[in-house]
Structure 1
Amino acid sequence: MADNHKKAAFRMLLLIATPKLVNKAVGLFKEGNVPTQYVFHAQGTATSEVMDMLGLDGVDKNILMGMMPKTFADEMLKKLRKKLHLGMPNTGIAFTVFMSGGSGHLVQLIESLEPEEKQLAERNEADMTENEYSMIMAIVNQGFSEDVMNAARPKGASGGTVFHSRRIGNQEAMKFWKISVQEEREVVIILAQKEDKLAIMQEIGRQCGMHSKAQGIVMSLPVDGIVGLD
């Protein structure tokens, strides 16, 4: 990536909502000419009590993901909140996480969303500080997502979102490190407040880490902006 690209602030925007609302959001992304967008089928993990409190009648969810400049992402969050009524019962949540870079072609596509004078906006100090929320991502063997949530809930997690994935890795490296991991994996996404993040991650690691049957890995990413939790 060229030097001037390093100064540009990029974000990955994720919307976790009902399939109907995600379809509407896809239309908004298309209207904004967002060049890269992906939709995944997922399943919520909230307890029935939490679902009742939020007014949700099911746990079927889709995840919409797109990459865009920070200022564009900020405006898209506002648009999603207004058009999809995020924060109301039976809707969803949208948030952005930092992107530290990308391939040259991807960067060019993302930068095309904003006028040239905004493309070189410097990251301000707030970008580098820890925000109120973090996205915790736990990747475990298939069938262990509920174990992750059982570990996370007592430490402050109210719910999560699960989607299925397939591991693509270097078999020789796995043999060298004497690691045997199922190809079919489950990814659990949890939004956590900063005061709960460490405890949640430590407990997931303790119960579902690489030395357990879940053979999980846990990571966190700072959340930049968020709508749908009010």
Structure 2
Amino acid sequence: MPGDDHRLIITIVKKGVAGKVVNATKEAKIGGGTVFLGRGTANKKLYRQFFGIDYEPEKEIIFTLVEQEKLNAALEIILRETKLDQPGKGIAFVIRVREIIGQISMLNSQKKDGGLAMNASLKDCPVKFDLIVTIVNDGFAEDVIEAAKGAGAEGGTIIHGRGSGIHENAKLFGMTIQPEKEIVLTLVDTKKTQQILEAINEAVHLDKPNTGIAFVLDVEKAYGIHHLTK
């Protein structure tokens, strides 16, 4: 099924906030979301300097798939529930979806409900970003993070392969991630993407068999990155 008219919103917030976001988007008939548990790795001094808060490593990552015409309404709800317009509350970014398989009935039912009128103002970050997704064997995520930081990234978020149930495996972008894998999400300035990719490859040897994979996704919008909007 074509997905050009859909967007994936990825929201990263501190533990305990994701439930409010999912419930709010469901109530607005925009859809729900899939929540992953992870941990942040950003520089603690950066958090104190720019955000004025203590660093909290436990994170929740929410994947929300929406129709493009409902994107702004969904972002308004996420902003309201997470307070991303305030420093230190988290970040959200939008990725274009090329193709969708599954969840067709859910998407079709959304079309019957119409759009939402929201009035809050969204301030997109002026810096252009890419999302580097790196999938590696368990225990190598920290190496990915350190390499990315050394090449200019500010940090990243690590997701473990195990899903919410004890016998479940996590799924990311339609791929099943086995429990011995770790996924690293790194939001980077597009000007630094190539150098960060090269640093990650050098650190964990992705060019060798059975070590992992990394790919880059275009980010259309980004919110909550306040120190880059000043």
TM-score (norm 1): 0.76
Alpha-carbon contact 1:160-1:191 (below 8 Å) kept: yes
* CA offset digits 1:188-219 (Å, max 9, x no partner): 00111110111111110121123579923111
Which residues of 2 match residues 70-81 of structure 1 at below 5 A? Answer: 70-81=68-79
Alpha-carbon contact 2:25-2:32 (below 8 Å) kept: no
Alpha-carbon contact 1:77-1:226 (below 8 Å) kept: no
Write the distance in 2 (CA, Å) between the matches of 1:194 and 1:144.
24
Give the one of 200, 203, 216 matched to 1:220. 216
Q: Aligned residue for 2:121?
A: none
Q: Aligned residue for 2:107?
A: 110
Which residues of 2 match residues 64-103 of structure 1 at below 5 A? Answer: 64-103=62-101
Which residues of 2 match residues 14-33 of structure 1 at below 5 A? Answer: 14-33=10-29
* CA offset digits 1:41-76 (Å, max 9, x no partner): 100011221232332441110111121111212221
* CA offset digits 1:27-48 (Å, max 9, x no partner): 2122122445211110001122
Which residues of 2 match residues 100-139 of structure 1 at below 5 A? Answer: 100-103=98-101, 105-114=102-111, 132-139=128-135
Give the one of 151, 156, 167 matched to 1:155. 151
> Which range moves more in the overlay, 195-204 or 6-15?
6-15
One-letter code of the match for 2:71?
A: A
Write the distance in 2 (CA, Å) between the matches of 1:198 and 1:91.
29
Q: Aligned residue for 1:62?
A: 60
* CA offset digits 1:4-25 (Å, max 9, x no partner): xx48511111111012221221
CA root-mean-square deviation: 2.8
Alpha-carbon contact 2:21-2:77 (below 8 Å) kept: no
Alpha-carbon contact 2:133-2:183 (below 8 Å) kept: yes
Unaligned runs of at least 5 residues, structure 2: 116-126, 163-167, 170-177
The DSSP-based 3-state class of the residue aligned with 1:149 is helix
One-letter code of the match for 1:29?
A: T
Write the distance in 2 (CA, Å) between the matches of 1:194 and 1:58.
26
Q: How many residues are paired up?
A: 200
State the 1:117 CA deviation.
9.0
The DSSP-based 3-state class of the residue aligned with 1:137 is strand
State the 1:221 CA deviation.
0.6
Query: Percent identity, aligned pairs only?
Result: 26
The DSSP-based 3-state class of the residue aligned with 1:50 is helix
One-letter code of the match for 1:98?
A: R
The DSSP-based 3-state class of the residue aligned with 2:148 is helix
Quick check: which has more Rg, 1 or 2?
A: 1
State the 1:220 CA deviation.
0.8
Q: Which runs of 4+ in 1 moved over 6 A?
A: none
Write the distance in 2 (CA, Å) between the matches of 1:117 and 1:25.
20
Alpha-carbon contact 2:26-2:32 (below 8 Å) kept: no
